[in-house]
Every structure is written in C-alpha cells, then in structure tokens.
Amino acid sequence: MRGTAQVPASKSESNRALIIRALAGAGELHNLSDANDTQLMQRLLLDPTAAEFNAEDAGTVMRFLTAYLVMTGRQTELTGTARMQERPIRVLVDALRELGARIEYQGQEGYPPLQLLGRTPAPATEESADFTELKVRGDISSQYISALLMVGPTLPHGLRIWLTGKVGSRPYIRMTLALMQHFGAVCRDLGEVLEVRPQAYTPTDYTVEGDWSAASYWYAVVALAPDGSHLTLPTLRRYSWQGDQAIVGIMAHLGVHTEFLADEQVRLSKTAVGSGFSQDFTDCPDLAQTVAVVAAALGVPVLMTGLESLRIKETDRIAALQTELAKFGGFLTDEGDERFRVSSTGFRVNGQSVATYHDHRMAMAFAPLALLGPLTIEDPKVVRKSYPQFWRELEKAGFNTDPAPAPVF
C-alpha cells in the first residue's frame, strides 16, 4: 500500500467560515469542503427569502443556522430529517431566547423543527456593564456553544458564556474562536468562561485546511495494511485547529507513524503495533468508530472514555458499533461509568455485511477491513455527508469495489 490519497477540506472549518463570512458580509473562502453538509450550508445561506430551511441530517447546519437566522431577524421554519428531529436542541434554543430570540417548537418540545420568529432585543437574565451573560451546559454538544459564539460580536454588549458541567469537544470551540479572530472578532477563552466583544466582523479571505477526521480512515488503512506500507496525505497542517489531529498520537499505539512534510503534507508509515492503552475521546468523538474498529481487528485492547456525545449523533454510534463489531468477533463492552472496552476473539473478515445506520462514519470506519477480507458496506452513498470521493480514493489506492463507485454528490 503506497501512494497519495486526497482528503477533503475540513467540513467543520468550512461551515464555521461560511457563517462568519455571512455575518461579515464579504470575504473569499478557498478550498471549501465538497461534503454535502457544506454544500447544503452554502445553498441555504444564498437563499434570503425561503419560507423553510431544511438542514437534512447536518448537525452543524441545524445548530449554526438556528442562531444565525434568528439573530439576524429572519422569520422562517428550520427543519431536518426524521433523525434530526430526534436530536435535542433545547440548550441552544433556551440560550437564544435569553438573548431575545423568538423561537417556537413545531413538534416535540426541545427538538426540531423550529419556527424562527426573529429577535426582540432584550437583556439576558444576567448582564454586567461589559457583557451579556449566559450560562450554557457544555456536556451535550459544543456546536451549541459555537453557534452562540459566532453571533456574539453582533450583540450590543457582546457575550460572556459561562460553561457548566463537563465540556466536550473543546477543540471545536477553540477552532470557532480562532476563525472568529481571523475575521476580526475580539474574543477570549478563559477556561470556564468565553468572552466575545461587541465588534463587527472584518471581511477577509481564508483557506480551509484538509480534514483530519477524513484522514483518520487512511490511518486505519495503513494500520491494517501489509508491512512496508506508506501513504502521503496532502493539505494537513502540523499546527491544526482541528481536535481530530489527535489521531496522530492514537494511531501511534496501533502501528502508524506520522511524519510531517513540507507543503502541508503528512506521510504515514506502517510500524510495530503497541500494547493496550486507554483513550479519552471527549475532545475527538468522531475518531471513536475508526479506533474501535482498528483496535478490534488488531487485537489491541483499548479502554475508551468520553463517548457520551456518540449517542446523539447521526445514529446511536455506541449501539451501532456494538452490533457491527460483533459480526466480526469484536466487542465494545460497557464497563459502567461511561467506560467502554474494545476487545476481540477470533476476529475475521469473510464476507460480512455492515449496516451503516444512515451514518457516514460507520461506512468509512469499517471499509478498511477489506484489507483483511471481503465485506459489504450497505448504503455506501452515506459518505456524501463528509467525503463524497471516499470510494474513488479507495479504488485509486488499490481496493477493489463491486460495483465500481461513482463520485457521490
């Protein structure tokens, strides 16, 4: 296994940059993701008069547009797929209401779809001379916090957010703040407090980095490939804002060495597999499926923590992993207190069919197992959400697929 694999641009950076540019009023964005979530965000932001916005199954689109649309005075309905209507949004809605937003639930209380009725400027429940203040739970989704931060500069008193409880995916919060600063916002991360000064964004340009979440599937490929294998991945930075760059250290335990090259490239090479280890996924939950599959395949026991948010993703990813790993002889065992252990007994790949649960990461996490034997990935088009060219890139790397895939848009 040798060559170069192209990874898409970061969906997380792209969707944040699109919202901030819309608030700034101008600016050129380069290397935007071709993921469905980003293409969807672009289309919706370009429709100034729609009576309904459909975020489909895109979490960032639903959460970010809720804040953007209502705080910019739009009156419209915001809906999504059946699964999206099962994903909670009360924490964000409650916070926006404190900022004067008028939002009504169209179905079950606390869940989409939402009727957005604009904003009545009003002070938050707690306000200092400098900031409008909010208390926001950080233990459900960092996307709520990012949505609030991005509209913070547009508020007359700015915004001070007090984070309560365990904060998950903090690197995504730092990414949001860094992009806001790139567009001229004045903001600070003080740990349990986030501050945003009232100041208009400055139109500017930005080039989006490659996606480390997508790169994780190539780490899995190298981990399962024969000895001597290596791959080069372009557009990835040594100093990244993306929390999923944690894959570099995690995969070192699973036999993949990372070398950072010039021109924003990394070279992955096959090395010796280590022994068992523990990993907290609080800041990088999107890596959990990839790591669980590779660890089970290699017979490396891993204690996984920080998986709380996986139950409210595109599917219940913990339950999905448990079901699909069992088909191969792998196990994700609940040890209580939100601790899960990966193990395996007689792990084999011999023609099993993997259900994807409408989840792009299930498809891509299990696909590298084809290096160990034939398998079927059900509903392969789910990859369009984040990595439309995934199957084409696998074929270029030497994988055989039947039927041969077309780009998924």
3-class SS of residue 171: helix
Residues with Cβ within 8 Å of 285's Cβ and at least 6 positions away in sequence, in order, are: 168, 169, 306, 307, 309, 310, 313
Residue 271's φ and ψ, nearest 5 degrees, are -135, -175
3-class SS of residue 393: helix
Question: What is the number of other CB atoms lying within 10 angstroms of the CB of residue 267?
Answer: 15
E strands in 284-401: 302-305, 330-334, 339-344, 353-354, 376-377
Question: What is the number of other CB atoms lying within 10 angstroms of the CB of residue 125?
Answer: 10
Distance, CA of 187 to CA of 203 (rounded, Å): 17
3-class SS of residue 310: helix
Helices 170-182, 11-24: crossing angle, 10 deg rounding: 40
Query: What's CA 83's distance to the chain center, in Å?
Result: 17
Residue in 57, 244, 286, 359 annotated catalytic: 286
Concatenated DSSP letters of 356-382 = -TT-HHHHHHHGGGGGTS--EESSGGG
Which has the closest alpha carbon to 17: 25, 35, 29? 29
Residue 233's φ and ψ, nearest 5 degrees, are -120, 120
CB 266 within 8 A of CB 236: yes
CB 3 within 8 A of CB 232: yes
Give me 309's structure tokens: 């948010």
CB 223 within 8 A of CB 256: yes
CB 29 within 8 A of CB 206: yes
Any idea what the Cα angle at residue 313 is, between residues 282 and 103, rounded to 5°?
A: 105
Assess whether 286 carries a catalytic annotation: yes
Give me 152's structure tokens: 């913070």
CA atoms within 13 A on the CB side of 124: 25
Catalytic residues: 286
